[in-house]
Structure 1
Amino acid sequence: MKIKAAIDRIPGGLMILPLFLGAILRTMFPNLADDAIFKGSFTGGMMTGATALLGAYYICLGTTLQFRSTGYILKKGVSLWAGKILTTLVISLLIRYFAPDQNHLFLGLSALAIVAAFSDSNGGLYMALVGQLGKRKEDVAAYSIMSLESGPFFTMLILGVTGLANFPVEAFVFALLPLVIGMILGNLDIDMREFLSKGIHILIPMYSLGLGFGINLSNLAKSGATGIILGIAVVVITGSVLYLLDRLTGGNGVAGVAAASTAGNAAAVPMTVAAVYTGYQEIGASATAQVATCVIVTAILVPILTAWLARRKQAQELASGD
């Protein structure tokens, strides 16, 4: 059976399928998590230990992040990374000052879900699209800078700076520490980088299953619709901003549009933040489902738009004789 191949055909499949499998199990057996025998078992530990697995995941992820980058790569990476983060910051400020209830903005859509979805790009999708359709191959390497978006740190920072949440300093330190440890190990020893980086793909379905087990689908009737709306908003808003920034830094806009997605690991951020800030504990599960839906929507729309833009730019270059 070609199970892995079938999963890979689904955008974000390694994240999404285990997530919803866990949610289905929790919905069918809502009291299982409270059973003492279950909680004390290896199965219970796996289903309820998503936080520990996420810590391991961020260490492995950190080993792939490089401290050094130069020239065009640095310029492109910083501009696209800053575009993502600053756009999310502006949206957060608008929510802070114009929305009376940040936890239920529209059909249950929350500030937590919006910030998590807007602030992190799908790196694998970006590199695949830019490698095939981009103007310059160096644009692929720009993700070495953009990958700083990964994890809950910038979500927490934006929520804290805009007053949508209040985190103690220790929360930022402990949230970032596994990623930093991974970065140090990966940059000091290439063998550690190669060894630990292999754990990224292994841990994704593991922690996703645990995250899903914290979601009861009977309480999330509206999350599908809001997740779709969230995905469209991410593509339209960040796509427009990043397109302009890409043009300003010597690109043709293709790399910018290719980055207008939501990373699969962003679905893990709401529950991570909710574990630190009690004000988001009640909506952590719904925000997770919304971001997970957003991941799929952006993974479908971004390749279509990127391919269309690349064909248009190529036709324009041929027409002008460049």
Structure 2
Amino acid sequence: MSVPIKATMEKVPGGMMLIPLLIGAVLGTFAPDSAKFFGSFTGALFTGGTTILAVFYVCMGASIDIKATPYILKKGGVLFGSKVLFAIIIGVIAGRFLGELPIDGGLLSGLSVLAILAALNDTNGGMYMALMGQYGKPKDVAAYSVMTLESGPFLTMVTLGVAGLSAFPWQALVGAIIPLLLGAILGALDPAMRKFLSSAAPVLIPFFALALGFGLNLGQVLNAGLLGVALGLFVLIAGGAVLFFADKLTGGSGIAGLAAATTAGNAATVPMLVAAANPAYAPAAGPATVLVAASVVVTAIGCPLMVAWYAKRLRTKEAVASPEVTAAV
């Protein structure tokens, strides 16, 4: 008997990340000692998220093509730069009010600069490539090779430092990007290694999600509620507006900018990694993880709808402006 587990999980936006995350959270909430009880490989599976992520970022790095064409560098560079610059501006503003710690009461309970920046800094690459494959050009799809530099905690660490919050020792910053660079070097030296490593990245997602979820408490998940939805809408609408105009200013249609207005599934791992590098962010890491996970879902649902609407609008305008339609009218 065949059970369509993978197909069912993929029907849920970000399902390969979110479903194992929820399973881990259930175990962590109702059986928090299970990792110690079983120990050995089972315990490592529940608690070895950082190690699994290190391998994941090597595999992600291998997918970066450092021989990208000038157009790809331009398109990807504009989207990458716009997203990072917007995150820095928001980080500087929010940092003046929040500091390193999360808000501890009221409707915004759990919100932190760490949560906002982790949600803004990393694009859902699979969704971007799928949307650009449908509504854009092949070279627009390839622009994501530049945007993969967003992956991991490095940019969030830098942004927090720029925002005037607790900085990180240079060793932590370098250590956060070495796995990605290692993968990029291996992929550049040997196309076979690029194919081998990059194809392994999706396999690792549910495993580090399970370990990540094990460190969460479902009470935090319930508390995220509307605040998590609001964070996702902020990424989608405010972030999307910035990326849209950046794309337009560089000769694009705006579709690529809208397609990049998402939060990557692996962005939910960033708060824990940041806290591991600087304990000042430990109180914010748990709530931030939940909020970022909510942003993943909201943007995964909203972004395709937004891109499809705008692409249809563009097609309508082009049809009206075409000579054939004008003659017919």
Counterpart check, 1:86 vs 2:85: yes
Contact 2:119–2:263 (Cα < 8 Å) also in 1:
yes
Whichever residue aligns with residue 273 of structure 2, its letter is T
Instruction: State the shift of 1:139 in Å.
Output: 1.2
Distance 1:168 1:10 in 2: 39
Q: Which runs of 5+ in 1 are unaligned?
A: none
* 2:228 maps to 1:232: no
- Which residue of structure 2 aligns with residue 117 of structure 1? 119
Do the aligned residues in 2 keep the contact of 1:120 with 1:149 (CA within 8 Å)?
yes
Q: Give 1:55 shift.
A: 0.4
Query: In the aligned structure 2, how far is the partner of 1:24 from the partner of 1:265?
Result: 19
Q: CA deviation at 1:159?
A: 0.7
8 Å contact from structure 2 (residues 23, 213) kept in 1: yes
Kept in 1, the 8 Å contact 2:99–2:113? The answer is: no
Match of 2:61 in 1: 62
**How far does residue 312 in structure 1 lie from its aligned partner after superposition?**
0.3
Q: How far apart in 1 are the matches of 2:4 and 2:307?
A: 29
- State the secondary structure of the residue aligned to 1:221: helix
What is the TM-score of this pair, normalised by structure 2? 0.93
Which residues in structure 2 correspond to 1:68-107 (within 5 Å)? Answer: 68-99=67-98, 102-104=101-103, 106-107=108-109
Is the counterpart of residue 147 in structure 1 residue 148 in structure 2? yes
Kept in 1, the 8 Å contact 2:102–2:283? The answer is no
TM-score (norm 1): 0.95
Distance in 2, matches of 1:160 and 1:53, equals 26
Amino acid corresponding to residue 19 of structure 2 in structure 1: L
> Given that residues 95 and 102 in structure 1 are in contact (C-alpha distance below 8 angstroms), is that contact kept between their aligned partners in structure 2?
no
- My pick for the range that moved more, 280-289 or 303-312, is 280-289
Q: Does 1:321 align with 2:322?
A: yes
**Percent of aligned pairs sharing the same letter:** 48
Cα drift, residue 101 of structure 1: 6.6
Of 196-205 and 97-106, the range deviating more from structure 2 = 97-106
Q: By how many angstroms is 1:241 displaced?
A: 0.6
Q: How far is the alpha carbon of 1:100 from its aligned partner?
A: 5.9
Q: Confirm or deny: 8 A CA contact 2:255 2:310 kept in the other structure.
A: yes
* Per-residue deviation, 1:282: 2.1
Distance across 2 between alignment mates of 1:296 and 1:220:
13
Partner of 2:172: 171
**Distance (Å, rounded) in 1 between the aligned partners of 2:33 and 2:161:** 34
- Contact persistence 1:30–1:216 (CA under 8 A): no
Q: 1:20 aligns with which of 19, 22, 25?
A: 22
CA distance in 2, matches of 1:90, 1:283: 20
- CA drift at 1:305: 0.5
1:13 and 1:25 map into 2 onto residues whose CA distance is 18
Could you tell me how far 1:181 is from its partner in structure 2? 0.8
Unaligned runs of 5+ in 2: 324-329
The question of whether the paired residues in 2 share the 8 Å contact of 1:242 and 1:256 is answered with yes
State the partner residue of 1:108: 110
What code does the residue aligned with 1:30 have?
P
**Aligned 8 A contact 1:96 1:102 in 2:** no
Q: Alpha carbons of 1:140 and 1:296: their partners in 2 closer, same or farther (altered >3 Å)?
A: same
Cα separation, 2, equivalents of 1:306 and 1:296? 16
Q: Distance in 2 between matches of 1:296 and 1:142?
A: 23
Question: Offset at 1:248?
Answer: 1.0
Q: In the alignment, what sits opposite 1:2?
A: 4
